[in-house]
Structure 1
Amino acid sequence: MATPTPRDVLTPDALALLQTVARAGSFAAAARELGLVPSAVTYRVRQVEDALDALLFDRASRQARLTEAGAELLREGERLLGEVDAVANRVRRVATGWESQLTVAVDTVVSCSTVMELAQAFLEVAPTTRLRLRDEVLSGTLDTVINGQADLALGITLEPNNTAGVRSRPLGDLTFVFAVAPHHPVAALPEPVTDEQLQRHRVVAVADSVQRGDGLTLGLMAGQEVLTVPTMRAKLDAQLRGLGVGFLPEPLARPFLQTGRLVPKFTLRPNRLSRLGYAWRDGGVLGPGKGLQWWLQQLDSAATRTALLERHVGPLLG
C-alpha cells in the first residue's frame, strides 16, 4: 500500500484535528473533545507526520507540545482553512447573493446596544447568514478589514489611504472628556490640572488590538504608571473604581457624570475630538454581497450613525 502523500492527508478535518490537539495540550484531551479514542487521534497525527516526514508534536512529556514544524503547519493551516471558507462564501454569493458568513469588527467606543439592535434586524432578513461580531480597538479595527478578517469595520480611527479593495466613509465625531472617580485624589486638585500633577497618578489605557506592530497609544505621558485594559467598557469600569484617570467617550461617561459617579476635570490637555469612520471590503468584481449591502444601507442613515456613537444604553456597570 502506497504511503499517503501530503495532499492525501492535509485535509480540512486533519488540520482542525491538529488545532484541537495543540489547543487541548494532549492527545487524550483532544480525543475527549472530539469524541474519539486517543489511539485514533494519535494515528491521524502520525499519518500527517509520516506524509510530511516531520515531527509535529514533542511527546517527551505528557503534554503534546508543538514543534517549530508543527507551529508552522498550524499557521499555514489556519490560513488555508480561511481560504476554504472564503471560497465557500464566494460560491454561495454567486448562487444566492447572500454571504454564508459576515464579520463586523466593532471598535469598543461604538454603542454595543445599537450594534445589537442592528444585528437583530439583520438576522430577521438574513437568517441563513452567520453573523460574527468582534471587538476591536484603535488601529486594530481597520486592520481587520485590510487583512480580510472582517467585511465591515465600525469606528475606525484611521483612513485606509489607498488600500486596494477597501472603502470608507465618515461615521461621526466623538468627544472625549477627562474624568475621574470622586474619591480619586485628582478629583480634589484645583483646575486646570497640570501634566506634572497627572504624571503622578496611574492612567487607564485601552490596548490597541492590532495583531502586528505596536499599535496606537493615546494620552500617555513618559514615565506614567499605566493600567492597560482590553475595551473601553473596561476602562470605564476601572475609572469608576478609582483605579486610574484618563479620557472617556463623553456619551459613555455621560450618565455617570450626571449622577456624580465620575467627575470631569479641566486639564491643560484639551478634551479630545476623534473623527471616526467605517470601512468595508468592496467585494471585488462581485461587489458587496446582499448582507454587506444591508449594513451599508443602515449606515446611510444619519440617525443610525449618531446612535452608534451616542446611544450607550442597556446594562450599565453597577
Structure 2
Amino acid sequence: MSEVLNVNINEDPRLLFEKYDVATIKKIKESAQTEIEHKQNVLRQFIGDNYKPVLETPPVLKDIQVIFEDTRQTLSKITEYSKNFNSDGEIQEKQPASPYSEVSQLYMSALYCLDNNKFIESLQNSELAKEKLKLIGKNSIIAISLSVAIDSLPSRILTTIKNYLEDPNTTLSSPILSDCYTTLMKFNKVQRLKSSNPFEFIKEALIQRIKKLFEKIGQINDICQKFLLVLESSIAFLSTIHEDSTDFIDTITNSFSNSDTSHLANIELRDLFRHAKSIQDLANSSINSPNIISFLNETAISPDFWKSAFLPVFKTFLFYNVYNEKFSYLIF
C-alpha cells in the first residue's frame, strides 16, 4: 500500500500518468479500494452491526417537525370550526317535530309486532295510534292516509291470527294461544268472523289446522306429532281460562280421528306398526307431563281420550293396507 500512501491526493490526477505507468496506477487503485473496505469493516466492528441502520438512516427530524406543525394547524382549525358550530347552534331555534310523526311511529310499531306474531301488542299500538290521530285531527292528506291505514289494522290482525292458528307449520304453544285469546277479546262478534266468542274462534281455527295436517304433511309420524303439539298446547292454554275444556278437547280429538286419510293409504304395514309404536311412546310421555296430569284431574277426563284420537286413524290406515293386500278378514 506504499503507492497509495506516497500519492498526494491534492495533485492533478493527470500527473499520475506522468509519474507512473498504467499497471502501477491500477495497482494503486486496487490498493486504495482494499484499504477503504478494510477501514469500513473496522468501523462496523467498532460501532456494532446493530447500529448499522443508524448510519444509513437519513435525517428525518426536519420532516417530523413539518408533520407536527401540520397536525397542530389542523387541530386549531377543528377547534375553530367547533366554536363556530356551537355558536350557530345556539342561534338557531329547534325545529318542531311533525304532529304526525308519533302516530306514524305507532303505526309502524303495530306492523312490526304483527310481523313477529305479537298480536296483543300490535293491537295496542293500533288503538293508541288511532287515539293520537283523533286528537290531532284529519285536516290534511297525511292525516287521511294515516287514518285509512290505521283503521285497516284490526282486520289485518284478526286475519293474521286466523291464518297463523290454521297453518300446521307455524309454532304453537300455550303463550301464543293466550296471546290470541287476549287479542280476540278486544273484538266484537262481527269482527271475529261471526264466531260467538274468542274461545270458539280458536277452536274452529285449530280444527282447520288439524284438517290441513293431513293435506300438507306427508308423513303419518309427523302428522301425529304435530297433533300432539296442538293437544298439549290447548291443554296448557285451557288451564288459564274458564271455559268448557271437555268439549274443546273432544272436538279437537274427533276432528283428528275423522280426518280423511285416503291419500296416505300407501303406507307399508311394517312402517305403520313402527309409527304406531313411536306415537304410542310419545303419547305416553306426554300424558305423564305435570300440566296434562293436572288437567285430567281437574276435568275428570280419562287418559284413554288419547287412544280415542289415534286408534281410529291407525285402524283406517290398517284397513287400507290390509285391503290392498287382500287380507280383508284381518280387519278389526
More helix by share: 2
More strand by share: 1
Higher relative contact order (CA 8 A, sep 6+): 1
TM-score, length basis structure 2: 0.22
Compare CA radii of gyration and give the structure with the larger one: 2
TM-score, length basis structure 1: 0.23
